[in-house]
Amino acid sequence: MIPVGLHTRNPQIDYADAFTPEAWLDGRAAADWWIVPFSAGPGRCPGSDFGGTVGAAALAALLRQYDFRPVAPRLGPGRPLPKALDPFTLRLYAAPAMR
Ligand code: HEM
């Protein structure tokens, strides 16, 4: 087992502890093999496009229908990112989207 948190939160990555989605647009994340989620080179995951497309479609469908907010906010733009997030204790309120 390779805990992904050890790679993605590696202190050698200068943006490891910050919410930095632009790292995926400016090439930094793609160039940094510590955090490529589908690996790279000849062993790169052949299901990466499928996984990304299905994941994005599922999230989009949920976000179109519901507004989510955390029951007890632990995450926020002004807060430090936790090293890991236990998905088994994460609780969200979901209300029908008001759009
Ligand atoms: C979010 C979903 C997925 C993630 C994060 C993921 C991640 C990965 C990673 C990191 C590897 C490289 C493993 C290594 O270096 O030994 C890999 C390999 C592989 N993945 Fe995925 N994968 C995902 C979905 C899928 C799907 C949907 C398929 C098939 C439909 C798939 C098929 C494969 C196969 C066959 C390999 C072996 C490639 C090789 O060794 O030549 N994966 N995946």
Measured in whole angstroms, the distance separating CA 86 from the mean position of its chain's CA atoms is: 13
- The closest residue, in CA terms, to atom 14 on ligand 1 is 43
- The closest residue, in CA terms, to atom 10 on ligand 1 is 38
In single-letter form, the type of residue at position 43 comes to G
Residue of 6, 38, 39, 45 with the most ligand 1 atoms within 8 Å of its CB, for mutation: 45
**Helices assigned H by DSSP within 1-99:** 4-8, 28-31, 48-65
33: which residues sit within 8 A by CB, 6+ positions away? 40
Do residues 7 and 36 lie in contact, with contact meaning Cβ atoms separated by under 8 Å?
no
- The closest residue, in CA terms, to atom 7 on ligand 1 is 38
The predicted-structure confidence for 14-26, as pLDDT tens digits, reads as follows 888 888 889 989 9
- The predicted pLDDT at position 48 comes to 92
Q: Which residues line ligand 1 (CB under 6 A)?
A: 37-39, 43, 45-47, 50-51, 55
The predicted-structure confidence for 23-66, as pLDDT tens digits, reads as follows 989 988 888 877 878 888 898 899 999 999 999 999 999 999 99
Distance of alpha carbon 79 from alpha carbon 44, whole angstroms: 34
Residue 30 phi, psi (nearest 5)? -65, -30
